[in-house]
Structure 1
Amino acid sequence: MTEYLFIDLDAERWVCRVCGHDLGNARGNYKEGTLVYDRDPREIHQPIIDPEKYEFTFSPDPGYCRILEFYCPGCATQLETEYVPPGHPPTVDMLWDIDALRAQWQQRGTDPLTAVTYGPGEDVKRHTGHAHN
């Protein structure tokens, strides 16, 4: 689904591609199964001009903007980042029709995990900790 996420269609679970950690129900938001770092945007976008002298410094105001970073609890791989107003819940950035996705792969007659190319000599189990027999 992304560089660091896949859906195990048999179990209907979000899974980290790096360590194989289960992140939750694939019919829901994978972000619910992650660790979240609520960042002050000034840590990322530091003021260009002196905040002691100027009200507007070209740095996002933390009263209006937060940066949420989502990490895998199993391996600490950063899975996603989003800019939201303070107190806003994590957004739902992916909704998949799991039944249609499963039917598509069954029609192809291919296991989605083995159909992914990781590079010369690389094994899918090394990347996911998971393989179908």
Structure 2
Amino acid sequence: MTERVRVTETLDIDLDAGRWTCNRCGHDVGDAEQSYKEGLLVAERDPEEVHPRRAPEDSAYSFAPDPEWCRVLEFYCPGCAVLVEVEYLPPGHPITRDLVFDLTSLRAAAAR
């Protein structure tokens, strides 16, 4: 039987194969030694679309991040299109690697 560990609401690590998997559809997202985001679909969204205007049209403020200073990246499973992650980053900033695991230790803990 495949040993899987739940990591996030939508991602598991298959400890036997050392792979990220979507826990909704089972899609193989990529090598668990790398960032799971490398195996996901990425959509860049306009911050003003994500955060609709909440102020009058004549106001200088919209309550949305300035698109010249912020980009919104959404990461989706290629198998079932579930939203896995959202990042707010300055333009030009690399995608962050937010999860790093010692797979050897995870395997040892799962074996106990």
Large movers: runs of 4+ above 3 Å:
none
Q: Distance in 1 between matches of 2:91 and 2:18?
A: 32
Residue from 103, 107, 112 that aligns with 1:102:
107
Residue from 3, 6, 12 that aligns with 2:18:
12
Larger radius of gyration, structure 1 or 2?
1
Summarize deviations over 1:50-95 as a string: whole Å, max 9, x none: 45x3433222111111111100001101111111112322211100
Match for 2:61: what amino acid? Answer: F
1:56 maps to which residue? 61
TM-score, structure 2 normalization = 0.88
Q: How does 1:21-100 map to 2 (within 5 A)?
A: 21-51=27-57, 53-100=58-105
Q: Distance in 1 between matches of 2:86 and 2:69?
A: 17
Question: Counting strand residues as a fraction of each chain, which structure ranks higher?
Answer: 2
Q: Distance in 1 between matches of 2:56 and 2:69?
A: 20
**Structure 1 vs Structure 2 CA RMSD:** 1.2
Q: Distance in 2 between matches of 1:21 and 1:38?
A: 22
TM-score, structure 1 normalization = 0.75
Provide structure 1 residue ranges, at least 5 long, that are not aligned to the other structure: 109-133
Question: Counting helix residues as a fraction of each chain, which structure ranks higher?
Answer: 1
- Identity, in percent, stands at 55
Q: Distance in 2 between matches of 1:80 and 1:28?
A: 16
1:120 maps to which residue? none
Q: How many residues matched?
A: 106
Match for 1:56: what amino acid? Answer: Y
Provide structure 2 residue ranges, at least 5 long, that are not aligned to the other structure: 1-6
